[in-house]
């Protein structure tokens, strides 16, 4: 699509934003938005690939699943803005491989496809081969496993040797599990995905945080020269809703969503982050955070205030399936959600 016609299409599409719950756009007008900044990129560990500072996250609202044309416009805006890594969530009834593959088809040489195994071990090979077909490609750039054991890792290794996977990754929602993966598969791992945001992991602000201390894990990952991806960069949709409820989006001196992302940009060991994006406006807001990645003192103050507000609820701001974010240890294994 030519740039001019794309921007024209963007203007028409923004009239439907309110129907999609434009959570990150208090009073913003992006009907004429056209990316004009420079997207920082850096080497993704030892993989030989470069990744954009801002990635395109995979969580999407159900109404977007029913509107692939709108999702396609979002993806194209992200690509035009410099995003080159796209994560695709295909759990439960998302069924996003084929529509995402179709959206990325014209740009396959310029983007990195990031996927997560969701099927049982005996179906993993079919899952890989199906993904290759859906994405019109001979290889998947980044393929990770959440449920991890020797058999599943062996299948990934075999497919990497066959050229069907470029990089093997592991994802975990807590430090202890990721450390265990590195104990067992550190010689296999090319990259890792961990929860990283201004509130839910140590190394953020203050000392009153859950026992999920990354002070040993992050240097270890760096020594292994792993690519590092930060997930839950905004602390989940519930954190965004809390910010809205507490009037943080009414502050004209700082966009709290951009501040959340800029907080992570300050850690150069996190190579890319993957926020969920559900409107064209959200893509625009997130792109602007990457074009201007410095975090101001005022933004830091606002993040501290939001973190304090979240802590004061004692996890009440989170839905039941996300309360583990405030209570990392001592409970049953967490679902991949």
What CA–CA distances, in Å, run from 8 to 2, 14, 77, 118, 172?
A: 10, 10, 12, 38, 41
How far apart CA 214 and CA 176 sit, in angstroms, is 10
How far apart CA 226 and CA 191 sit, in angstroms, is 5
Average pLDDT on 188-195 reads 96
Confidence of residue 28 (pLDDT cuts 50, 70, 90): low
pLDDT of 213 reads 78
Average pLDDT on 44-65 reads 92
Average pLDDT on 147-152 reads 96
In tens, the pLDDT along 134-144 reads 999 999 999 99
pLDDT of 96 reads 86
Q: Degrees (nearest 5) of the Cα angle 72, 141, 87? A: 40
Beta strand 85-88 pairing with 191-195: unpaired
Show the tokens assigned to 180.
């265990």
Confidence of residue 21 (pLDDT cuts 50, 70, 90): very low
pLDDT of 329 reads 39
Over 60: is that where the pLDDT of 244 sits?
yes
Confidence of residue 200 (pLDDT cuts 50, 70, 90): confident
Average pLDDT on 221-227 reads 97
pLDDT of 290 reads 98
pLDDT of 332 reads 34
pLDDT of 13 reads 37
Over 80: is that where the pLDDT of 224 sits?
yes
Mean of the per-residue pLDDT values of the chain: 85
pLDDT of 5 reads 36
Roughly what angle, to the nearest 10 degrees, separates helices 124-134 and 150-161?
Answer: 40
Rounded to a whole number of angstroms, the CA Rg of the chain reads 19
Max mean pLDDT range (63-72, 292-301, 311-320): 292-301
Q: What is the pTM of this model?
A: 0.86
In tens, the pLDDT along 253-287 reads 999 999 999 999 999 999 999 999 999 999 999 99
In tens, the pLDDT along 95-119 reads 889 999 999 999 999 999 999 999 9
Domains and CATH numbers, the chain: 3-313 (3.20.20.100)
Confidence of residue 92 (pLDDT cuts 50, 70, 90): low
Task: Choose between 24 and 250: higher pLDDT.
Answer: 250
Average pLDDT on 296-302 reads 96
Over 70: is that where the pLDDT of 19 sits?
no
163 and 138 in contact (C-beta within 8 Å)?
A: yes
In tens, the pLDDT along 55-86 reads 999 888 878 888 989 999 999 999 999 999 99
Share of the chain above pLDDT 90, in %: 70
How far apart CA 323 and CA 128 sit, in angstroms, is 32
Task: Choose between 210 and 179: higher pLDDT.
Answer: 179
pLDDT of 46 reads 98
């Amino acid at each position: 699509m030519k740039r001019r016609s794309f921007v024209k299409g963007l203007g028409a599409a923004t009239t439907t934003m309110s129907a999609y719950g434009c959570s990150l756009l208090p009073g913003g007008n992006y009907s004429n938005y056209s990316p004009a900044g420079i997207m920082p990129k850096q080497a993704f560990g030892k993989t030989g690939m470069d990744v954009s500072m801002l990635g395109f996250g995979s969580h999407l609202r159900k109404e977007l699943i029913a509107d692939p044309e709108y999702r396609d416009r979002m993806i194209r805006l992200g690509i035009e803005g410099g995003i080159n890594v796209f994560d695709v969530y295909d759990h439960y009834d998302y069924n996003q491989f084929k529509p995402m593959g179709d959206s990325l088809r014209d740009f396959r040489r310029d983007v990195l496809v990031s996927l997560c195994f969701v099927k049982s071990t005996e179906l993993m090979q079919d899952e890989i081969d199906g993904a290759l077909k859906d994405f019109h490609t001979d290889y998947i750039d980044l393929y990770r496993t959440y449920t991890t054991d020797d058999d599943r890792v062996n299948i990934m290794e075999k497919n990497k040797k066959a050229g069907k996977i470029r990089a093997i990754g592991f994802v975990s929602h807590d430090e202890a599990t990721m450390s265990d993966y590195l104990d067992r598969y550190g010689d296999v791992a090319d990259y890792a995905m961990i929860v990283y945001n201004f509130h839910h992991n140590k190394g953020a602000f203050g000392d009153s945080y859950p026992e999920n201390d990354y002070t040993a894990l992050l240097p270890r990952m760096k020594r292994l020269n792993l690519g590092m991806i930060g997930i839950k960069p905004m602390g989940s949709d519930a954190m965004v809703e809390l910010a809205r409820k507490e009037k943080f989006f009414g502050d004209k001196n700082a966009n709290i969503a951009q501040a959340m992302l800029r907080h992570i940009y300050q850690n150069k060991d996190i190579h890319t982050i993957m926020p969920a994006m559900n409107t064209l406006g959200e893509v625009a807001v997130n792109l602007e955070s990457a074009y201007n990645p410095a975090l101001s003192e005022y933004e830091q103050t606002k993040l501290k205030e939001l973190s304090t507000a979240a802590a004061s609820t004692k996890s009440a701001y989170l839905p039941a399936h996300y309360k583990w974010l405030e209570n990392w240890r001592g409970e049953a294994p967490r679902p991949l959600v």
